[in-house]
C-alpha cells in the first residue's frame, strides 16, 4: 500500500507536467489577432530602428576619424601657396572636416567673410547628412509605447466583451486573450521605445562630437588665413 507521501509526490509531478509553460511565442499567439497585429507593427518598427542605428553609427564613426597631422599639413601647404596640394589632401581624407577645409581653400583670395559664409553653409549640409534619418529614431521612440498602449486598450475591450458575453460571471480562461493582448503589447511597445530612445541619444552624442571637430578645425583654418604673411 502506497503511503500518503508518495501519492502527494505523484500528484505534484502531474500538476507540474500539466502546468502551462510561459514563452514569448505562446504569449504572442495567445494574444489574439489584435495583439498579433500590434506585435507585428512593433517588430517592424524595431527592425527599422536597428537598421537606422547601425547605418548611422558606422557613418558617424567613419566621419569622426581625425588625422592629427592634417591641419599641420594644410597650414604648410597654404603658407607655401600650394593650394592644389592642400585641396588634393582634403579630397584624399574625404571626411566632413576635410570637405569644409576644401571649401575654404577654394575661396582663398576672396574676403574672409565670404570664406566664413561658404564654410558655414557647407557645414550645415554636412550636419544634415550626419543627422540623416536620425529623427526617425526619435519618432519610433515616442510612437512605439503608444502603439503598445493601443494594444492594451484593445485587450481590455476584449476582456470586457468576454465578461459581458459570459453573463457577468468572470472566468479567467475567457479573459485570457484580452489580458495577454493587453500585457504583451505594452511590454513590447516599451521595449522598442527604450531601444529606439537609447539609440537616438547615442547617435546625437556622437554627431555632436563630429560637429565640434568640424567647428574647431574651421576656426583653426580661418585663424590661419588671418595670420600675417
Assess contact for 34 and 151: CB atoms under 8 A. yes
Query: The C-alpha cell of 61 is what?
Result: 564613426
Burial class (CB in 10 A: 0-12, 13-18, 19+), 98: buried
Q: Is the pLDDT of residue 203 over 50?
A: yes
What is the per-residue pLDDT for 77? 85
pLDDT at res. 63: 85
C-alpha to C-alpha distance for 179 and 133, rounded to whole angstroms: 36
Q: For cell 575661396, what's the residue?
A: 107
Helix, strand and coil in the chain, % to nearest 5 = 85, 0, 15
What are 85-123's pLDDT values in tens digits?
A: 888 888 888 888 888 888 888 888 888 888 888 888 888
Per-residue pLDDT reduced to its tens digit, 35-50 = 778 888 999 999 999 9
Residue 134 has pLDDT above 50, yes or no: yes
Instruction: Give residue 25's pLDDT.
Output: 52
Does 20 have pLDDT greater than 60? no
Mean pLDDT of 202-225: 88
Highest mean pLDDT among 80-84, 120-124, 221-225: 120-124
pLDDT computed for residue 1 by the predictor: 45
pLDDT for the residue 33: 66
Report helix, strand or coil for 110.
Answer: strand
Q: Residue 23: pLDDT band by 50, 70, 90 thresholds?
A: low
- Per-residue pLDDT of 163-177, as tens digits, reads 677 665 666 665 665
Q: Which grid cell is 95?
A: 571626411
Give pTM, 2 decimals.
0.76
Between these two residues, 26 and 48, which has the higher pLDDT value?
A: 48
Mean pLDDT, residues 49-73: 88
Q: How far apart are CA 210 and CA 178, in angstroms?
A: 48
Residue 175 is predicted with a pLDDT of 62
Amino acid at each position: 500500500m502506497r503511503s500518503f507521501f508518495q501519492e502527494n509526490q505523484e500528484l505534484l509531478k502531474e500538476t507540474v507536467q500539466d502546468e502551462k509553460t510561459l514563452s514569448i511565442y505562446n504569449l504572442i499567439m495567445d494574444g489574439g489577432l489584435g495583439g498579433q497585429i500590434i506585435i507585428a507593427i512593433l517588430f517592424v518598427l524595431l527592425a527599422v530602428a536597428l537598421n537606422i542605428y547601425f547605418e548611422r553609427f558606422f557613418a558617424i564613426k567613419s566621419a569622426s576619424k581625425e588625422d592629427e597631422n592634417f591641419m599641420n599639413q594644410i597650414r604648410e601647404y597654404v603658407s607655401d601657396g600650394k593650394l592644389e596640394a592642400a585641396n588634393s589632401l582634403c579630397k584624399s581624407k574625404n571626411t566632413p572636416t576635410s570637405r569644409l577645409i576644401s571649401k575654404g581653400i577654394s575661396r582663398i583670395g576672396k574676403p574672409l567673410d565670404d570664406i566664413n559664409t561658404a564654410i558655414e553653409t557647407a557645414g550645415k549640409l554636412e550636419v544634415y547628412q550626419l543627422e540623416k534619418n536620425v529623427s526617425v529614431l526619435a519618432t519610433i521612440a515616442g510612437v512605439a509605447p503608444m502603439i503598445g498602449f493601443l494594444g492594451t486598450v484593445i485587450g481590455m475591450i476584449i476582456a470586457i466583451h468576454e465578461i459581458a458575453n459570459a453573463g457577468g460571471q468572470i472566468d479567467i480562461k475567457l479573459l485570457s486573450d484580452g489580458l495577454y493582448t493587453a500585457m504583451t503589447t505594452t511590454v513590447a511597445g516599451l521595449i522598442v521605445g527604450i531601444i529606439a530612445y537609447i539609440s537616438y541619444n547615442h547617435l546625437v552624442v556622437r554627431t555632436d562630437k563630429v560637429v565640434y571637430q568640424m567647428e574647431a578645425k574651421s576656426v583653426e583654418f580661418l585663424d590661419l588665413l588671418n595670420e600675417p604673411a
